[in-house]
A and B are shown apart, each in its own frame.
Chain A
C-alpha cells in the first residue's frame, strides 16, 4: 500500500510539531486570559478586531526565532553569550529573571483563583500541583514533557464549549473580526496594546529556540517547523477569540465589570448557566498550569545557556542541577508570595509589564542581528523583505508595550 503524499506530510508534521504549538498556547497563559477577559468585558466584540494583527505579529516574530534556532542549532541565549560576552549576558539574565518572575506570579495567582473557583483549598492543592509538575519535569524527557503540554492544550477546548454555551451572534463576530466596530478611544487603543503585549513575549523567544534544540530538530525540518508556527499562531488565537466571545456575549452584554479572569468565570455563571462558567474556570486552571510550567523553564534555559551549565529536559536532576534549581526557585518564591492571603497582584503586574517593555525591544535587536548574520544563518539569512517586516513588528510592539505601560500608569490613580 502506498501512502498518499498528503498523509505522509501530516505524519511528518505530527513528529516535528511541538515547540511552536506549545509556545503559542503558553502565550495564552493565566495572565493572557485575564487581559483578554478584561478587554472583552470593556469593549465586547469590538476587541475582536485585534485578533488578526496579533496573529500576524506572533507568527512573524516566532518564525524568526525558529529560523535562527534551526539554522544555528543553538538557543537564543547561547548566541547572546557567544556574540556579546559575559557582561551583556548577565544583564539579559537579570532582566529575563525578573520579567519571568512577574509572569510566574500572574500564572500562579491565576491558578490560585481557579482553585478557589472550584472550592479547593489552595494551601493544599497549589503546592501539590506545583510539586507534581516539578517531579514530572525532572523524571521525564523532552518528548514526554511535550506530551503533557499537548494534553493541557486539549483542555483549552473548554473555552470553545464555553463560547458555544453563551450562544453568541456568530455572524456579528465574523464581521467584528474583519471590520472595525464601535468608536475609537484612547482607552480602546491602550487595551488593544495590552492584548498585543501579553501575546508576544520575550520568554516565548527563549522557549521556542531552546525547545527546538532540546527536540534536536535540524535545518532540514525548517519548512515543517515554519508551517507549525504559522498554524499554531492561528489556532492559539482562535482560542483567544473563544475567550473573548464568552466574556463579550455575557459580561459586556449585561454591562458588568470584572477585574480578572476568575471574576469572569463567576460572572458568566448566572448569565449563561453554570456549565459555561465552570468551563471557563477549567480553562483558567489549565492556562495557569501551562504558564507555571513553561515560563520558569524559559528562565532555566536562559541561565544554563548564558552561563554554560548543562541544562536540558532530557537530563536528570543530577546532571542539570542549576537548570532545575532555577525552575524550582522561581516557582517556590512565587508560590510563597501568592499564598499570602493579602497578596495583591496589581503592583507586581505593573512592574513586570514595565520590564517587559524594556526587554522586548532588546530581544528584537538581538533577533535582527542574528537573523542577518551570515555566519549564523547561512542560506537562511533574512531577506530584505523579512527585515522590513521584522523591524515594523519590532517598532509596533515596542511602541505597544511602552504605550501600554503609560496607560497602565495612568490607570493607577
Chain B
C-alpha cells in the first residue's frame, strides 16, 4: 500500500540514472477499479506527462524506463492531486460528506508478465492522513503510544466514495452511475444540496435519465428553480415531461412568467395540455385551508416515545391521521399512520417503518391540484411544504370535503 503524500515530490529517475524531475501528480482512469495511467512530472523546463507503461517501480525514487513515452490526458481520466486530494467526497456507505486527507494506492505486480500496475484503492479520511501530510505521523504516533493511546486509520475504499467535485465536465463513466444508483434519490439530493449548482449539474449528467429525474424531484425548490433557470429550454422540458405533473407545475410556478410560458410552449401537446390545465388553476390560494394541527416525530424516536407523546400532546387535536417524520432540519422525510404505529414493537425506531414516498404540496400548488392528489392517493390529508421541505401546515380531507360535496351536488 502506498500513500500519495509519500510519493509526491519524489525524484523521477530513469533506469540509466538520469534525473528527469519531480513527481507532481498522478493520473488515473475513472472506473470501478481505477488504474493509474500517467505520471505528471515537473522538470526544469516544464511539465511532462509520462505513461505508466514506462513505470518500473515506486521506491525511494520513481524509477521509469529510459525509453519513456510521453502522452496527453485522455477522456475519463482524473488527477489524484488535483481532483481527489483535499477535496470533499461523498462517503456512500456512511452517507456523509468527508474530506480526502490522503489518497491510497495499491500496487499489483504480475509475476508472469512482469508488468507493474497501480490502482487507486481508496482515500484516507482520518487525522492520520493529515499528520502524514505534515510529515509528523510517526512522531505523533510514537508519542501517543507512550501514553497508551493509539489512533486508528480511517479509510474508505474506492467503491464507497464519490468525489463531490468532478471538475471536468467531460467525465461520463458507466460504472460510476451504477454506484450512485444504489443510493436513495432523496439522500443523493440531500448531498447535492450541500454543493453548488455547477456540481449538481455534473452529477446529474452522470445519472441515467430516470434516476436523475427522481433526484431532481427530491431537491428543494430553490435548487430546482436554479437548475431550470439555467438549463436550455429543450432540456428543461425533457425533464419536466418525465416528472409527475404536479411537481412539474410547482417548479414552473417558481420560474418567471416569461420562462414558464417559453417552456410550456415547446412541450409535446399531451403534456402541454395537462400542464396548462394545472397552471390555470393556480389562482386559488390554499393558504386559507391550511391547518397547523399536525404531529411530528423524529426518525430515531421509538414507538414507545411517539405513542407517549401522542397521548400527551394531541388531546386537543380535532384530526390526526398521519404522523410526519422530520429530520433535524425540520425537513419532512417520511410519514406513517397511527395504525402502522400500533402494529410495531415498542422499541422500534420510526425510520424502520415509515414510508418515504411522500405526497406533498407547495404553498403555490393550486387547491384543485391538492384535492386531486388527495383523491388520487386516497389520503386523509397532505402536508404543504415550503422551499426547504419544511412543513408549513397540512390540508386535510375534512378541510376540503365541502369542495367535493359541491362538485357532487352539481
Contact = CB atoms under 8 A, between A and B. Distances in A.
Contacts of A87: 133-134
A87 B193 CA distance: 29
B125 A308 contact: yes
A71 B195 CA distance: 10
B88 A86 contact: no
Given A72-B196, A308-B101, A308-B125, A86 B134 contact: yes
B29 interface: no
Given A218-B226, A307-B99, A86 B133 contact: yes
B205 interface: no
A216 B222 contact: yes
A141 B99 CA distance: 23
A141 B388 CA distance: 13
B3 to A, nearest CB: 13
A73 B222 contact: no
B85 A85 contact: yes
Contact of B99 (A72, A308, A375): A308
A307 B165 CA distance: 17
B87 A310 contact: no
Interface in B170-214: 193-199
Contact of B328 (A213, A216, A307, A315): A315
B376 interface: no
A213 B165 CA distance: 16
A79 to B, nearest CB: 10
A63 interface: no
A90 interface: yes
Contacts of A378: 198
A216 B330 CA distance: 14
Give the secondary structure class of A's interface.
helix
Contacts of A74: 195-196
Nearest to B132: A86
A219 B134 contact: no
A107 interface: no
A306 B220 CA distance: 27
Nearest to B89: A308
A316 B226 CA distance: 29
A58 B298 CA distance: 41
A9 B167 CA distance: 35
A90 B127 CA distance: 12
Interface string B298-335: 00000000000000000000000000000011100000
A219 B88 CA distance: 20
B226 A219 contact: yes
A314 B229 contact: no
Nearest to A221: B222
Nearest to A80: B86
Interface string B80-120: 00000111100000001111110000000000000000000
Given A141-B328, A310-B96, A315-B328, A220 B195 contact: no
Contacts of A225: none
A314 B328 contact: yes
User: Which of B86, B199, B329 has most A Cβ within 10 Å?
Assistant: B86
A21 B188 CA distance: 32
A128 to B, nearest CB: 26
Contacts of B57: none
Contact of B197 (A86, A216, A218, A314): A218
Contacts of A220: 222, 225-226, 229
A73 B86 contact: no
B388 A219 contact: no
A81 B86 contact: yes
A199 to B, nearest CB: 30
Given A141-B328, A315-B328, A86 B130 contact: yes
Contacts of B100: 308
B223 interface: yes
A218 B87 contact: no
Contacts of A90: 130, 134
Given A141-B328, A216-B222, A375-B167, A308 B196 contact: no
Contact of A308 (B98, B226, B330): B98
A138 to B, nearest CB: 11
A221 B196 CA distance: 13
A213 B133 CA distance: 28
Interface in B111-159: 125, 127, 130, 133-134
Contacts of A71: 196
Given A220-B229, A307-B99, A73 B133 contact: no
A73 B197 contact: yes
A71 B226 CA distance: 12
A78 interface: yes
Nearest to B126: A308
Nearest to A306: B99
User: Which of B87, B97, B220, B328 has most A Cβ within 10 Å?
Assistant: B328
A216 B88 contact: no
Interface of B: 85-88, 96-101, 125, 127, 130, 133-134, 165, 167, 193-199, 220, 222-223, 225-226, 229, 328-330, 388
9 contacts: A73-B197, A82-B87, A86-B101, A86-B133, A87-B133, A213-B194, A221-B222, A307-B127, A314-B328
Interface of A: 71-74, 78, 81-82, 85-87, 90, 141, 213, 216, 218-221, 307-308, 310, 314-316, 375, 378
- In order of increasing CB-CB distance, the 7 nearest A-B pairs are A308-B99, A73-B196, A86-B133, A220-B226, A82-B86, A314-B329, A73-B195
Given A73-B195, A87-B133, A90-B134, 12 more contacts: A71-B196, A82-B86, A82-B87, A82-B88, A85-B86, A90-B130, A218-B226, A219-B196, A220-B222, A220-B229, A307-B130, A314-B329
